[in-house]
Amino acid sequence: MVRRCLCACTIVVLSLLTCSASAVAAVRKHSSRSAAASKSPSSRNLRASSSKAGCLPCAAKQARLLKTKLSRRAKTAKELPCHPKDYVDPTIARNYNAAMRDMKRAGIKPKVTSVWRSSETQAALYRCTQSSRCRRANPGLYAALPPGQSIHEAGFAVDVAGVASGRRGAKRLTPQGRRIVSIMKKNGFNWRYGLSDPVHFEADPRQHGYKNLKQAIARTQNTCQVKLAKTKSSKKSVNRVAVNTIPVKARLTERSHKRGLRGV
């Protein structure tokens, strides 16, 4: 009886070992076939195509993001002014700063309403002066010259408010205005138009290295200077020069004209 039980157990164990061995062999055979199939050119091409298909949405998304970023940069570049707000030609910068200092020492707070202008701004002012409706909306605007003819485009003109009072055609110099005119003349600025455009002071480009006004305008309209602050802690600034930067677009505001923006 014991012998029969031992024989039966032996047979069962042997059968189980045989089954497991055959199963392992089948798994090895299947894995070797899979490896061979993966090494074949057709399988590689299939995998490559599937990976490319999976990355197409990612590539399209990255392209859209790049396009958006570039368009934002271009828009920002167009909106940046060609020169700082108080820019004058470097050849008269010392005179201009000296005039501002002299006014402050004399107890005058100079209200400079216009210095350098882009040709686009000058064109907008000129169009406004040609329209009776625009002139009524901007009573402080005097006659503006066409673009390419204004000395403001060259950075050689300064408009200072508070020189005269009264209605147009009957203006009179104020006591402060007399001092302003005297200080500006002392520092090389001519009060060219007098009471017909009392805020306007200018220097002659021909006395500062230019052949004529046209040459001075061409230079300042095509060579831009932007002051950039380094850091708040250093409190210093540097100048960066960029050639052929797009000037700022014209912006006419009623506030600026009421403060004394003139047209020449």
Three-state DSSP string of 188-253: CCECCCHHHCCCEEECCHHHHCCCCHHHHHHHHHHEEEEEEECCCCCCCEEEEEEECCCCCCCCCC
- The pTM (predicted TM-score) of the whole model is 0.58
Nearest alpha carbon to residue 27 among 16, 39, 38, 19: 19
DSSP state of 71: H
Report how far residue 156's alpha carbon sits from residue 209's, in angstroms, rounded to the nearest whole number.
12
Q: Is residue 48 part of a domain?
A: no
Tens digit of each residue's pLDDT (9 = 90 or more) over 113-153: 999 999 999 999 999 989 888 988 887 777 789 999 999 99
Contacts of 226 (CB under 8 A, 6+ apart): 80, 81, 82, 83, 84, 239, 240, 242, 245
Q: Is residue 203 part of a domain?
A: yes
Q: What pLDDT does 249 receive?
A: 38
Number of domains in the chain: 1
Task: Please give the DSSP secondary-structure letter assigned to residue 169.
Answer: T
User: Which pLDDT score is estimated for 174?
Assistant: 94
Q: Is 201 part of any domain?
A: yes
User: Is 69 inside a domain boundary?
Assistant: no
Q: Which segments of the chain have a pLDDT < 70?
A: 1-57, 71-81, 225-263
**Are 82 and 248 spatial neighbours (Cβ–Cβ below 8 Å)?**
yes
- Max Cα separation, the chain? 142
Bridge partners (DSSP) listed for residue 164: 173
Range of the domain at 115: 90-258
User: Distance between CA atoms of 230 and 219, rounded to whole angstroms?
Assistant: 27
Half-sphere exposure of 208 (CA within 13 A, CB side): 20
With beta carbons less than 8 A apart as the criterion, state whether 96 and 158 touch. yes
Is residue 126 one of the residues assigned to a domain?
Answer: yes
Using the CB atoms, write b or e for 234-248: b if 16+ within 10 Å. Answer: eeeeeeeeeeebebb
Instruction: Please tell me the predicted confidence (pLDDT) of residue 91.
Output: 96
Has residue 122 been placed in a domain?
yes
Nearest to 152 by CA among 95, 83, 211: 83
* Residues 111/160, Cβ–Cβ less than 8 Å: yes
**Tokens linked to 36:** 């061979």
Tens-place pLDDT, residues 196-215: 899 999 999 999 999 999 99
- Would 51 be classed as within a structural domain? no
Of 120, 93, 109, residue with least CA distance to 217: 120
CATH, residue 135: 3.30.1380.10
> Contact 152/116 with Cβ under 8 angstroms?
yes
38 inside domain: no
Specify which residues 243 forms β-bridges with: 223
